Amino acid sequence: MDILAIWLGKLTLLALRAVGRRGTALPGLVVEKVFPKFLARRLATLPLGVVVVTGTNGKTTTTKMVATVLAQRHRVLTNDTGGNFVRGVLTAVVQQSSWLGRTPADVAVLELDEAHAVRFCQVHQPERLLLLNVLRDQLDRFGEIDTTAQLLAKVAARTTRHVVVNRDDPRLVAVAAGLAAEVSYFGVAPALREQFPTDEEMYGGDVRFSELKASVELLALELGETTELTLRIGDTEEAITLQAEGAHNAQNAAGAAALALTLDLDAATIADGLRAVQPAFGRGQSFDLDGRRVVLQLVKNPAGFRQSLRTVTGLRPAATVIAINDDYADGRDMSWLWDVEFASVLAGASGRLVTSGTRAADMALRLHYDGLVVEKVDTDLGRAVQQAAAAVAPGETVVVFSTYTAMWQLHQVLAKLTGVAVG
């Protein structure tokens, strides 16, 4: 019967492709309706079970890190298409199964957003869980940060074997207390701790140093043209150059390594895997547009925006475009733009400043109050990026910070302009 579910899903995917649609959710939805128990049955057959990666920021890249690292030893099933809902998982299972009905995988590494992770637990209790952080994000959807932390606590309580927790996030450390599953931690060394401020610390709260022993610790970090770091993985120190750039990804790498340790991979293998990880969709991907390098940075919330902004220092752009949409997936509330301080990073370092997206004017207003001069406000994403690139010399870099739905639109525009299939 499961072969029918897979065929149904695959045919739905083919139909979507035929009309030029992406379809990360619909095949899952169709299969879910007709074969409601299919996903649970299929996941139960995985010998090493399911790893869930969740938290506010870094889910996609970290999932990619865990999957890449584990893939050196195991067959990995993962939802790397951006569908971080239960239906997205189902679509991924269908995609990665054969027409003969087999799912050739030992372990699933799944990115799930906080609310859907709870729902997912009703389908399958994850064997392993990686908790990255709880930050301000889409409060118009979840209401409060404490509410989000409660969602993660539910997922942690239902995890059967091992929960890996960021020791530098006090809300997550509280979640880890009293769990049935084994708990281990990852973290950044005290000397680096101030480079990773929590939302509270941004507003003058004391920087808290955790005393918990981390199985993986970020010992050193250098951000320039490339991201160089040293991780202590168990008892071994490994120097790593990340292709997925930025301080936040160095922290994510520590989390991914700690999770890989729970599946008994050794430090050298883990480090090799991390070195091979390519940037995920819109997380530092770059495109050649008429000889200009266009670098895309997805921004979703204040903490992520602050971290992404720091990449400007290494990239030295001749122009910076900030594209803000306010569709449901982006968050309707623009308040978050005021939780990011722009002047200290962008002043003198951004090049020509352009804002775009539905809320281009809101973004320009925010920058205006930070004393930055916006040269152009253009709600049309394609035009804004094209003109920004045309206005700088060949060989120069244009950085585009963009919210989620704006990123999808930009990908389509860039695919058309550069002739490169992306995303």
Binding site for another protein (CB under 8 A): 136, 139-140, 143-146, 200, 203-205, 326, 332-339, 358-359, 361-362, 364-366, 368-369, 371, 377
**Which of residues 200 and 237 has its CB atom nearest to another protein in the complex?**
200
**Which of residues 25 and 361 has its CB atom nearest to another protein in the complex?**
361
Min CB(206)–another protein separation in Å: 9
**Which of residues 212 and 365 has its CB atom nearest to another protein in the complex?**
365
Min CB(325)–another protein separation in Å: 10
Closest by CA to 182, choosing from 162, 202, 155, 207, is 162
**Which of residues 341 and 396 has its CB atom nearest to another protein in the complex?**
341
Min CB(296)–another protein separation in Å: 24
Min CB(335)–another protein separation in Å: 3
**Which of residues 145 and 391 has its CB atom nearest to another protein in the complex?**
145
**Which of residues 146 and 288 has its CB atom nearest to another protein in the complex?**
146
